[in-house]
Amino acid sequence: MLTPSAKALVPFVSVDHMMGLVHHIGLPRVLRELADCIEDDFRRWPHFDKTPRVASHSDVGVIELMPTSDGELYGFKYVNGHPGNMRSGLQTVTAFGMLARVDNGYPVLLSEMTLLTAIRTAATSAMAARHLAPKGATTMAMIGNGAQSEFQCVAMQAICGISHIRLYDIDPVATAKAARNLAGSGLRITACSSPEEAILGAQIITTSTADKQYATILTDNMVGAGVHINAIGGDCPGKTELHPDILRRSSIFVEYPEQTRIEGEIQQLAPDHPVTELWEVITGKAAGRTESRQITLFDSVGFAIEDFSALRYIRDRIVGTPYFKPLDLLADPDDPRDLFGMLARATPSDVT
């Protein structure tokens, strides 16, 4: 049997591996560590290659590639978004990603990213709230109780100290699911029958709905002064959650304006409407929350640098653990110029 050399083996993190690693470390700790890792990369934002995601849209969903590089490592994520999948018992979002060395192009990690995307999205939300939300916030309204909701709640607890979650979803079954999953988290959970009820007393409002349409989950009269809004459901053209008058009253913070103006809540506004890039707040280049009655809005659509951070975190965290498998992904001929010879010398008995 032909045995691939070590340099041709790529660590592969499967879904089972990812679940094992998260349980091994503990989800709250993973969220805290990943938020710090993402923040570290936001602090060196100018060093990254940045481009809006490469998207292929259809009537039923979107398939996207999200690439970036810091000059030493290159990373990309493949991700889909198909809201109708749930009717067929399929995930709305699935993903996988790869990290590679820039100097020789060789991959150093291949990983599932369906779970990891949910975790990094929640870590990014809480990292942003750490800089933008009212100090001492204790209560969050979680509007949209699908696959992302519990991760958001645990992240806000672990990173921002939130202790009370007010849940609402148009589907009461989803709310019951989220309440059940969060029952042992230490959070106080209130299931609500309307979005108006959910936002009562909340200093942070997170919206995470899935319908691919211009929707008004929050109307202007629902949002009072001093709150922080974490809008993560609007993530493609033609899909929003907030009434545009809310945006006009808010200080808006984004990941990458060129992408957010196409896919985020601000697609409803004029192309020159002022926004602040989150990395500028983190580095002190721009102000975040400046007064108590200010409405801050993190218009988050997800950006490749966050996936890069997540892959970098996983690459480092699997070292010395059983939560990966060396994958024979790359051809490795003895003579790099003799790929044909490597194939010709192989026999059926060499293949397992």
Query: E strands, 28-72, where?
Result: 54-57, 62-69
Structure tokens at 64: 């996207």
Question: Nearest-CA neighbor of 116 among 101, 98, 129, 140?
Answer: 98
What pLDDT, on a 0 to 100 scale, did the predictor assign at position 220?
A: 86
**Tens-of-pLDDT digits for all 352 residues of the chain?**
445 566 679 999 999 999 999 999 999 999 999 999 999 999 999 999 999 889 898 988 889 999 999 999 999 999 998 888 989 999 888 999 999 999 999 999 999 999 999 999 999 999 999 999 999 999 999 999 999 999 999 999 999 999 999 999 999 999 999 999 999 999 999 999 999 999 999 999 999 986 656 677 888 889 999 999 999 986 667 778 899 999 999 999 999 999 999 888 999 999 999 999 999 999 999 999 999 999 999 999 999 999 999 999 999 999 999 999 999 999 999 999 999 999 999 887 666 5
pTM of the predicted model, to two decimals? 0.93
What pLDDT, on a 0 to 100 scale, did the predictor assign at position 164?
A: 98
Q: Which of 41, 235, 299, 307 is catalytic?
A: 235
Amino acid at 266: I
235 in catalytic set: yes
What pLDDT, on a 0 to 100 scale, did the predictor assign at position 216?
A: 76
Q: Using CB atoms within 10 A of its CB, is residue 208 exposed (0-12), middle (13-18) or buried (19+)?
A: buried
Q: Which domains does the chain have, with CATH numbers?
A: 6-115+306-335 (3.30.1780.10), 133-303 (3.40.50.720)
C-beta of residue 206 within 8 angstroms of C-beta of residue 133: no
What pLDDT, on a 0 to 100 scale, did the predictor assign at position 352?
A: 57
For the sheet with 188-191, list strands across it.
Answer: 188-191, 164-168, 139-143, 204-207, 228-231, 296-299, 251-254, 276-277
The Cα–Cα gap between 339 and 246 comes to: 60
